[in-house]
Amino acid sequence: MITILSEAIQDKHVVEQLRYLAEKFKGKIAFSTSFGQEDQVITDLIFTHDLPIEVFTLDTGRMFEETYQVWHETQKKYGKKITAFYPETSQVEKMVDEKGIYSFYDSLENRKECCDIRKVYPLQRALQDVDLWITGLRAEQSVTRTNVNVLEESKAFNCFKYNPLLNWKLNEVLTYLSEKAVPYNTLHDKGFISIGCAPCTRAIQEGEDIRAGRWWWESKDKKECGLHVEPQKPILNIGKIQ
């Protein structure tokens, strides 16, 4: 199936790829946005061309105020809905009660637990009825993303995964946002390139790689929250197309 789909879209413009896949996975296709630069490009493509693709976000409860602002501006500009998925309150309460509000600084295990509760588990719920998941991954973002394909299978979430901007460079993303006047997170103007939760994100310094500001206290090969890796835990039973 992956081979057939990949061949069908390989010579198409990104908009036509999205349109083709939206038809192929009708009612079972969704895009997850964190309102970063890449995600805003994809959101603009979906909303401007009125493509039948659900757009959703994971509100971790620890996001920057600037992120909420671009969320608001995006919905206002396009007049489209962006669905929010939140962590389970009981899981957050238990983690904070037992380990404190900044447990993620103490160990990699604790950090991954926080990411699981605030991101991975909500994503499982978001993708429960989704067969094709669209993301804003780009290969140059991280050493952990160099082996990603434009179209692949996510065994972790039991669905297909489409990364339309995988081979785009940062300057291409920035040019698109500027030319199309797409709302963007103002933290990007202050050195924040990859933006996640506020306690786990800082501005990068000159010469640092794009993801250096994410979980900066950890080594480069550990800098993933679990959304784009194969988690070693039971996952929800998510259906696929036949």
DSSP 153: E
C-alpha dist (Å) from residue 222 to 81, 141, 214: 33, 13, 10
Sign of the dihedral through C-alpha 59, 209, 192, 172: negative
Task: Choose, from 114, 159, 200, 225, the residue flagged as catalytic.
Answer: 225
Asked about 200 being catalytic, the answer comes back as no
If 0-12 CB within 10 Å is exposed, 13-18 middle and 19+ buried, where does residue 98 land? exposed
CA proximity to 133, closest of 76, 219, 54: 54
C-alpha dist (Å) from residue 34 to 54, 59, 83: 14, 9, 12
Identity at 180, one-letter amino acid code? K
Instruction: Name the residues annotated as catalytic.
Output: 225
